[in-house]
Amino acid sequence: MVLEKGRVSDSREIATIYRAAFPESVQFFFAKKSPLRLLDLLELSFRLVFFWGGQALLVKDQQGAVVAYCLFTSRQKPQNRNYWALLTTGIKLIGKICPFEAIRLAFNKLLVFATTKRDKGPTRELVSSAEILSIAVLPSAQGEGIGTQLLHAVLEQLPNEGIALNVRTKNEAARRLYESAGFQVCGSTRDYLGEWLMLIKPAGG
């Protein structure tokens, strides 16, 4: 396995992994969308992350195919934002999503905001300067330690930063991985598909 920095041009492969790794979410929000149109939509979404300043690490197999990714942001090491690309990509994205899907996604975000509960103590906004947005491994490559390798590689990219992420309450394997890496629960929230735990890893922790 080889670790490489992700680029905008990798968005299609990242979208393919996301679709395979999170079928429940994809089915719930985009049940009536054709596979090709769905992949186009997901690719544009990940392109927006890159253009907004997001970064990525990829894991490739011996044939050079991407089998895992991690998308993250950093305020200490910000990437330049491409506002023109954000605008043009956003317009393309709007053309790929139907009104019902947009409404459901918007209400999902509102639900997350309304149900957020934070534990006592410093908020993760104060503790963290980086955030892991999404991390996934192809189902066919799971169980080989790739997720652990990828997470630790990302943490090495952010040595002096507090890091925030969310994980599904029911995803016990991921919770154990994050806790072993020093992440602590700082709150919870929920969306249409269930509860999330909000985690932070303090700088130097």
| Rounded-to-integer distance, Cα 158 and Cα 144, Å | 24
Q: What is the pLDDT of residue 71?
A: 98
What domain range includes position 97? 2-201
Q: What's at 132, amino acid-wise? A: I
Residue with tokens 């994050």: 178
| 130 strand-pairing partners | 74, 163
pTM given for the model? 0.93
Which domain CATH number covers 148?
A: 3.40.630.30
> Residues 8, 50: contact at Cβ < 8 Å?
yes
For the chain, 205 residues long, give each residue's pLDDT as a single digit of tens: 799 999 999 999 999 999 999 999 999 999 999 999 999 999 999 999 999 999 999 999 889 899 999 999 998 888 999 999 999 999 999 999 999 999 999 999 999 999 999 887 767 776 778 999 999 999 999 889 999 999 999 999 998 899 999 999 999 999 999 999 999 999 999 999 999 999 999 887 6
Q: What is the pLDDT of residue 118?
A: 87
> Residues 74, 161: contact at Cβ < 8 Å?
yes
| Rounded-to-integer distance, Cα 32 and Cα 203, Å | 43
For residue 57, count other CB atoms closer than 10 A to its CB. 20
**Token representation of residue 49:** 């992350």
Q: What is the pLDDT of residue 140?
A: 92
Burial class (CB in 10 A: 0-12, 13-18, 19+), 28: middle
| Rounded-to-integer distance, Cα 117 and Cα 114, Å | 9
From residue 57, how far is each of 49, 67, 119 by CA, in Å? Answer: 13, 11, 31
Q: What is the pLDDT of residue 119?
A: 84
Q: What is the pLDDT of residue 205?
A: 63
Angle, to 10 degrees, between the axis of helix 35-51 and the axis of helix 11-21?
120
| Rounded-to-integer distance, Cα 35 and Cα 53, Å | 28
Domain count, the chain: 1
